[in-house]
Amino acid sequence: MHSLNASIVFIAITVFAFLADHRGVETPVTPEQQDLAPAQVALEKPAPVQPEAEPVDKKKPSKKKKTKVTRVVRATAYNAEPGQTDSTPDICAWGDKIRPGIIAISRDLEKSGLTRGKEVHIEGIGNVVVMDRMHRRKRNQIDLYMENRKDAVEFGVKELTISWTEDPHTEQES
């Protein structure tokens, strides 16, 4: 009778171990358990699985929208000539090579959020990129780069509306 009870217990433990293995619950075997009988290994419970802790500093992304800024400015045009620039006419103020589609801005506009690489829409002209800055004596002015001197002279001086998108995450330098 004693051996019948032992056999039933062994079968029950084996079935339990089989079901545990096939339900995705692992029963890890440690080096100490390798020398034990299968029934003794199956009796030990696997270590509980701890859920991963969530980060403490969980910031929600800001839902602030980008703001469109519009301004009327004085617009002129310039060429890459030493008389109109400095001693390195083909290099912009931030070290970039001069090319069509860029503008120079007065420093007060830079403080208003127009910084290097910012895309600006000029009414009647289209989109350009800020890549140069003007002399500090200039105020509320943009200077459009043109390859041809004749085109720059014909452009003359105009009052134009410019607009750009201000990113709420970017702090403006003062």
Rounded (5°) CA angle 112-118-122: 85
C-alpha pair distances (Å), 30 with each of 14, 33, 135, 166:
18, 5, 75, 60
- Work out the average pLDDT over 124-140: 92
Between these two residues, 3 and 154, which has the higher pLDDT value?
154
Vertex 170: Cα angle to 166 and 174 (nearest 5): 90
Query: For the chain, what is the mean pLDDT?
Result: 75
Residue 89 scores a pLDDT above 60? yes
Instruction: Please report, in angstroms and rounded to a whole number, the separation of the first and last CA atoms in the chain.
Output: 93
Q: Cα(39)–Cα(122) distance, rounded to whole angstroms?
A: 82
C-alpha to C-alpha distance for 20 and 106, rounded to whole angstroms: 73
pLDDT tops 70 at residue 109:
yes
What are the angstrom distances between the C-alpha of 88 and each of 67, 95, 145? Answer: 36, 10, 15
DSSP three-state, residue 23: coil
- Going from the N-terminus, what domains does the chain have, and what CATH number goes with each? 2-43 (no CATH), 67-166 (2.40.40.10)
Q: In the predicted model, is pLDDT for residue 71 greater than 90?
A: yes
What is the distance between the alpha carbons of residues 131 and 79, in angstroms, rounded to a whole number? Answer: 14
Q: How many residues does the chain have?
A: 174
- What gap in Å lies between CA 132 and CA 92, rounded to an integer? 5
